Each structure stands twice: as C-alpha cells, then as structure tokens.
Amino acid sequence: MKSWIFGAITLACMTLGSAALACPIGNGAIDRPVRPVQNVSFQASEMIERASRLESAAASHDASARALEEEAATLSNRARILRNQANLVNVSDRSSILAIADELSLRAASDRAGAAEDRAQASDLRSQARTLRQRAVTLVRNTNGGGGGWRGKTTQSTPLPSERGVTL
C-alpha cells in the first residue's frame, strides 16, 4: 500500500512539474516569433509615419542651427565691441580685454560649426524621409500590380510629384 501512495505522489509531481516547465518564466510575457506583416498598406503607412518623424527631427535640427547662428552673431558682435573698446582703455588692461574678445570669437566659431553640423544632419534626415516616402509609394504600386484597376483592367497611373519634377 505504501508503494502505491508513493507512486501516486510521484506521478502527481511529475505531471505538475512538466506543466510548470511548459509555462513561461519571468514577467509573464510570451515571446512569440515576429511574423512579417502581409498588409502592404500598413507597411506603407508605417513608412510614411517614420518619414514624418524624420521630418520633424530635421525641423528641430534646423531650429537648433538657427539658435546657434543667432548666438554666434551675438558673440561676434560682443567681441567686435570689446576690440573697439580695448583702444580706449589703459594699456595694462588692453591685453585682458583682447583675450576675452578672442575667446568670444572662438565660441562664435564653435557655434557656427555646430549650426553647420545641425543643418547637415537635418538635410540627411530629410533625404532619408524622401527615400522612405518613395519606397512606400513603390511598395504600394508594385503590390497593386501598377494600379490594375477593377477586374484586372489596366489603368493609367498618375506620376509622382517627384517624377514630375516637383519636390515636397
């Protein structure tokens, strides 16, 4: 009788243990393999949305570049004013004022370089956005069979604005 009870307990533990091993461990999230999205319009809208995010990032880089340019102009004006005033002060103070003016000029040059870098990044982001939009349009056109129309009739598609020479 004791061996029967021991066998039943062992069988129950093995059953519960194998069920516990089948459950995921951790935060409860089940990692399922990512399947490619078959919906072309969804993929195209995702590309367009990403392109708009790239455009907004480019706009923020442009705004940053404008702010840096304004700061550089302000610093250059201050340096010019200090150099003009250095001629009016005592010779012993003149070198320290000119050193401050040189430092302001260096900071202005640094700000201008940062503005140029921000503009280059903005341009790069805009070109990436343009490429994404073109890929989305190409994806939709290629999937729809070139705009096959109703019951397979061929229809004439309208050219893209970029194909007509218009930039967005």
Write the DSSP string, the chain: -HHHHHHHHHHHHHHHHHHHHHS--SSS----PPPPP--HHHHHHHHHHHHHHHHHHHHHHHHHHHHHHHHHHHHHHHHHHHHHHHTTS-HHHHHHHHHHHHHHHHHHHHHHHHHHHHHHHHHHHHHHHHHHHHHHHHHHHHHTTTT--GGG---PPPPPTTTTT---
What are the residue boundaries of the structural domains of the chain, listed by start?
A: 39-144
Single-letter amino acid, residue 59:
A
Global confidence as pTM: 0.58
CA distance linking residue 16 with residue 31, whole number of Å: 23
Residue-wise pLDDT for 88-134, tens only, equals 888 888 999 999 999 999 999 999 999 999 999 999 999 999 999 99
Tell me the pLDDT tens digit for each residue of 52-95: 999 999 999 999 999 999 999 999 999 999 999 998 888 888 99
Averaged confidence pLDDT in the chain: 80
Q: Backbone phi, then psi, for 134, in 5-degree steps?
A: -65, -40
Distance CA 55, CA 60 (A): 9
